[in-house]
Structure 1
Amino acid sequence: MAAGKMHADELDIDEALVRRLLAARFPEWAGLPIERFPSAGTVNALFRLGEDMSVRLPRIPGGVEDVEKEHRWISRLAPHLPVPVPVVLGKGTPTEEYPWPWSVHRWLDGENPAPETLTDPVALAGDLAAFITALQAIDTDGGPRAARTRPLVTQDEECRHALAELDGLVDIPAATAAWEATLEAPNWSAPPVWVHADLMPGNLLTSGGRLSAVIDFATTGIGDPACDMIVAWYLLPAHAREAFRAALGVDDATWTRGRGWALSMALIQLPYYKDTNPAIAAQARHVIGEVLAERTHDLSAS
């Protein structure tokens, strides 16, 4: 769970504020129990509302446009997907006290998976591949551009700045070499497909070790499918990673770009969140370790 504020422009959000917002916009729900849900999320604050709803509010200006995207597109995508996704029940309006739109969703049960607690990672890899395959098959007409579908080289300056701040925390020469290797992959040139673009463990729910839901579609849109490969390094062990790739039939260039996105995200997250969000920082360390181990294995096998 995040420890205090993570961003300089983050708003103060608590249960009392949520109740006042509900009373103004959805008075029929204002009397229900409200409890802040412990989450490592970095963009939105999440509260459980009663037994079967949640309230989700942007913490920072960068999350505001995502509210409209989710309200417009989740209902279009949901019928085509093999697992439940958030059902939007209502859209909150800005007030003098809280300046942005916000959402009420149907609550989805499940647990966030973690690499060290997976009971059947190969089966979970198959579930993830099935979700991505179904998402990519949806008609892209009118779809918005997704986050993380621009050329990977656009991350270079920020990655190198992060590397300069990570001395003593990671193997800088190895991480730099791994990052530079991903930049050699050709860019995506085929038609865009639907992607979630943020398949981190915190946006996945499992039950009995299997994928039970996918949440947080703020970054979704159309573009390069490589960005949805990040879950391979954020969650899956090496043998399940291979099963995941085989199930998707991913080519070398897309896989390499996916590894680059996972590495770039982790490199940038680690120095930014190491003091304010221990869960995200630990996750970033894990990803960097998995990428470097995989690269060492590939180099020794070549």
Structure 2
Amino acid sequence: MVHPLLEIEVSEDLVRTLLREQHPDLADLPLAWAGTGWDNALWRVGDQLTARFPVRAVAAPMVEHEQRWLPVLAPRLPVDVPTPVRVGVPSSTYPWTWSVVPWFDAVAAHHTPVASRSAWASQLAEVFVALHRPAPDDAPVNAFRGVPIAPREEPLRERLERLALPDADRILERWRDLAATPAWDGPALWLHGDPHPANLLVHDGRLRAVIDFGDVTSGDPASDLSTAWLTFDADGRAGFRDRLGPDDATWRRAQAWALHMAVVLQMHPVDHPALAEIGRHGIAQALAD
């Protein structure tokens, strides 16, 4: 199966070579492939570390954003995050910046039953209470997160036409209603950028870590709060909202973002079936509310 977005294949030999070149004290540890997403390939390095490599040029700045800002944000947050412990630089072997981050003994939330996630819904809300604070002027810019939702109609319509989803008309109608909500008029807040359940790690029924801050940016917190529909059922969503306390307009924009994100997650269902399933769940939840 060919990854639809991959520009470089990060093989075990390449990982071993890069470690020998730049971090030789790690080069002889066991390596195990831990997955390849839209943007990054993950290789477990020994028992306690993970090496993270962009697989396409557009993802390379995201790793640099993590390297710059996670050391600033991590001390504020009530769960672990993958703050880089080593930095890899571009070389003749590989063209982009890469990172070595901690390995967390946990499972991604999308591998757990939806109903079980309610147990830590308020814990995730605590993460956003801590994170969603005014960001500095030099925070990373992301054209697809934290921005006004209303201008996303054209790309949403195009994706719905391409996917030919059975509920496409209902999705667009509901999205239009929600997106007509007044825009965010507060300060630009720090945002994770992509907190869907594949980026939430769970251990023993608790939220263990939040990972993949590559889309970290600032702006309207509604795009982060879209996870309420992507991750939880109605019970979990209620606990999440109760702890977070967003105003009604922010919650409606978040629901619009949930529909938008849920459609995006279904764009490569063969190569990324887990993300497509998250998208299907998000649509069902957002249409049910």
Shorter-chain TM-score above 0.5: yes
Superposition deviation, residue 12 in structure 1: 1.3
Distance in structure 1 (CA, Å) of the matches to 2:217 and 2:35: 27
Q: Which one of 60, 74, 77 corresponds to residue 73 of structure 2?
A: 77
2:15 alignment partner AA: V
The CA deviation string for residues 172-226 of structure 1, in whole angstroms up to 9 with x for no partner, is 2211111111221111111111111111111111111111111111111221111
What's 2:241 paired with? Answer: 245
Q: Within the alignment, does 1:156 sit opposite 2:156 as a pair?
A: no
Pick closer, same or farther for the CA change 1:119–1:61 going to 2, 3 Å.
Answer: same
Alignment of 1:110-189 (within 5 A): 110-114=106-110, 117-118=113-114, 120-137=116-133, 140=136, 142-146=138-142, 147-167=144-164, 169-189=165-185
Alignment of 1:276-295 (within 5 A): 276-294=271-289
Q: Which runs of 5+ in 1 are unaligned?
A: 295-302
Q: Which one of 216, 220, 230 corresponds to residue 234 of structure 1?
A: 230
Amino-acid identity (%)? 38
What's 1:297 paired with? Answer: none
Distance in structure 1 (CA, Å) of the matches to 2:28 and 2:112: 39
Distance in structure 1 (CA, Å) of the matches to 2:54 and 2:271: 18
What's 2:29 paired with? Answer: 32
Distance in structure 2 (CA, Å) of the matches to 1:281 and 1:222: 26
Distance in structure 2 (CA, Å) of the matches to 1:259 and 1:43: 25
What's 1:56 paired with? Answer: 52
The CA deviation string for residues 114-159 of structure 1, in whole angstroms up to 9 with x for no partner, is 3861564333111011010011247646433355111112321110
Pick closer, same or farther for the CA change 1:192–1:86 going to 2, 3 Å.
Answer: same
What's 1:42 paired with? Answer: 38
Contact 1:80–1:138 under 8 Å retained in 2 = no
Q: Which one of 198, 204, 214 corresponds to residue 202 of structure 1?
A: 198
- Runs of 4+ in structure 1 off by over 6 angstroms are none
Distance in structure 2 (CA, Å) of the matches to 1:237 and 1:170: 21
Distance in structure 2 (CA, Å) of the matches to 1:119 and 1:150: 31
Contact 1:115–1:236 under 8 Å retained in 2 = no
Q: Look up the SS of the partner of 2:226 in the other structure.
A: helix
Q: Look up the SS of the partner of 2:190 in the other structure.
A: strand
Superposition deviation, residue 164 in structure 1: 0.9
Contact 1:158–1:268 under 8 Å retained in 2 = no
What's the RMSD between the two structures over aligned residues? 1.8
Superposition deviation, residue 170 in structure 1: 2.7
Pick closer, same or farther for the CA change 1:115–1:257 going to 2, 3 Å.
Answer: farther
Distance in structure 2 (CA, Å) of the matches to 1:16 and 1:280: 28
Q: Look up the SS of the partner of 1:165 in the other structure.
A: helix
Distance in structure 2 (CA, Å) of the matches to 1:116 and 1:206: 8
Q: Look up the SS of the partner of 2:201 in the other structure.
A: strand
Distance in structure 2 (CA, Å) of the matches to 1:279 and 1:98: 28
Q: Which one of 73, 87, 90 corresponds to residue 91 of structure 1?
A: 87
Distance in structure 2 (CA, Å) of the matches to 1:45 and 1:115: 19
Contact 1:46–1:57 under 8 Å retained in 2 = yes
Alignment of 1:9-24 (within 5 A): 10-24=7-21
Contact 1:269–1:281 under 8 Å retained in 2 = yes
Distance in structure 1 (CA, Å) of the matches to 2:166 and 2:129: 34
Q: Look up the SS of the partner of 2:107 in the other structure.
A: coil
Contact 2:109–2:117 under 8 Å retained in 1 = no
Q: Which runs of 5+ in 2 are unaligned?
A: none
Pick closer, same or farther for the CA change 1:256–1:184 going to 2, 3 Å.
Answer: same
What's 1:5 paired with? Answer: 3
Distance in structure 2 (CA, Å) of the matches to 1:177 and 1:281: 21
